[in-house]
A = this chain, B = another copy of it.
């Protein structure tokens, strides 16, 4: 019942605060005899790592992950995999401002209201630093899913600048600092974010995550539907305020005829769908099409521009965040979103296999 675990058959539990000695994760339920190394995990962590470009926080952390259990002679043993990242960048610093002021749009007030105590250093447990462990768990999940299942994420909108669907190029995603699939829009974003940062502001973003190669049949109706678990997985990422599956909000404007993903004869046991408004999920179960999900990330809350707030005594004050912060926190959410997709799928793969036997 405490809330620091995710998943059921594939289940991970994280701990650690932004400025504590280390953050960690234990991944339980991993099938045995899967080849797994620290390099396998580090590859994905490096994609999330801060300081990759001037559009993300300049906090410099190598974020080197160590495997401390559950792997023997290069292979998983079926026992829990312990993962540790030491927090390197804990330089002594003046926390007096955030110690006493409650930052708007952060969890300062709510942690205090709930627990009556909070580790204010860098946001403590509420820091997005926790998402490093989601990425590590996601890397393990990818290993379970195997090569046939491909999970890719992209940033599809910053502010009011969406990518053009017609210009989508997955290769482009790796070539710009935004995970943007549209080379032209990436240039626009660069300009926009440079301006926004100069103004001491920030912008929101939309991320899309696509999983291909998922067989039909995964998902546990009616309360652990595949889309239900994806919604939970994405919504629990820091700063996320909306989740869409397939056509998402657009279904409101559609007729039943437009929305129906009509079917034509396909291969054995697998019809050909004429569209994918369902985002690859019907009745909470995968259809065998691509799983398509999106989530909206709010603009970075720590900004240079002063905002009005109160302090821990309830007195009025204002706060302005100097120093390293992301003009668009959504950029670094892309690898995190991919990881949550991987974790949800790995969990449902194992759950499905338990009940159905394949």
Known contacts A4-B80, A241-B248, A310-B265, A255 near B28 by CB under 8 Å: no
Known contacts A114-B217, A217-B114, A236 near B261 by CB under 8 Å: no
Using an 8 Å CB-CB cutoff, how does the interface string of A193-213 with B read, 1 for contact, 0 for none? 000100001111110000000
Instruction: Say yes or no for A305: interface residue by CB 8 A criterion.
Output: yes
Q: Which residues of B contact A234 (CB under 8 A)?
A: 231
Using an 8 Å CB-CB cutoff, how does the interface string of A224-245 with B read, 1 for contact, 0 for none? 1101111111111000011111
Task: Name the residue on B nearest A232 (C-beta).
Answer: B232
Q: Flag if A2 contacts B13 (CB, 8 Å).
A: no
Known contacts A9-B354, A353-B357, A216 near B79 by CB under 8 Å: no
Binds B, one of A47-55, A57-65, A180-188, A294-302: A294-302
Q: Flag if A299 contacts B241 (CB, 8 Å).
A: no
Could you say which of B1, B241, B315 contacts A1, with CB atoms under 8 Å apart?
B1
Instruction: Say yes or no for A15: interface residue by CB 8 A criterion.
Output: yes
Could you say which of B118, B159, B204, B225 contacts A3, with CB atoms under 8 Å apart?
B225
Q: Which residues of B contact A14 (CB under 8 A)?
A: 80, 222
Known contacts A216-B113, A245-B241, A309-B262, A29 near B11 by CB under 8 Å: no
* Bound CA–CA A30/B220 (angstroms): 12
Instruction: Say yes or no for A56: interface residue by CB 8 A criterion.
Output: no
Binds B, one of A37-45, A145-153, A163-171, A274-282: A274-282
**Among A114, A160, A205, residue most surrounded by chain B Cβ atoms (within 10 Å):** A114
Identify 12 new A-B residue pairs, CB closer than 8 A, beyond the known A14-B80, A31-B355, A125-B221: A2-B29, A4-B26, A30-B355, A33-B116, A78-B355, A106-B283, A110-B282, A126-B222, A231-B243, A257-B305, A260-B303, A271-B310
List 17 A-B residue pairs with CB atoms under 8 Å apart, sorted by A's residue number.
A1-B29, A2-B28, A4-B28, A9-B351, A29-B355, A33-B117, A109-B282, A113-B287, A114-B216, A204-B254, A225-B235, A241-B247, A242-B245, A256-B300, A265-B315, A271-B310, A271-B314
Q: Flag if B23 contacts A221 (CB, 8 Å).
A: no
Could you say which of B11, B77, B203, B296 contacts A125, with CB atoms under 8 Å apart?
B77
Could you say which of B4, B33, B109, B204 contacts A271, with CB atoms under 8 Å apart?
B109
Instruction: Say yes or no for A136: interface residue by CB 8 A criterion.
Output: no
How many Å from the CB of A271 to the closest CB on chain B? 5
Instruction: Say yes or no for A22: interface residue by CB 8 A criterion.
Output: yes
**Among A22, A69, A205, residue most surrounded by chain B Cβ atoms (within 10 Å):** A69
Q: Which residues of B contact A125 (CB under 8 A)?
A: 69, 77, 79-80, 221-222
Q: Flag if B252 contacts A245 (CB, 8 Å).
A: no
Q: Flag if A246 contacts B257 (CB, 8 Å).
A: no
Task: Name the residue on B nearest A309 (C-beta).
Answer: B263
Instruction: Say yes or no for A191: interface residue by CB 8 A criterion.
Output: no
Known contacts A13-B13, A68-B15, A287 near B26 by CB under 8 Å: no
Instruction: Say yes or no for A177: interface residue by CB 8 A criterion.
Output: no
* Bound CA–CA A21/B22 (angstroms): 16
Q: Flag if B356 contacts A114 (CB, 8 Å).
A: yes
Instruction: Say yes or no for A336: interface residue by CB 8 A criterion.
Output: no
Q: Flag if B354 contacts A351 (CB, 8 Å).
A: yes
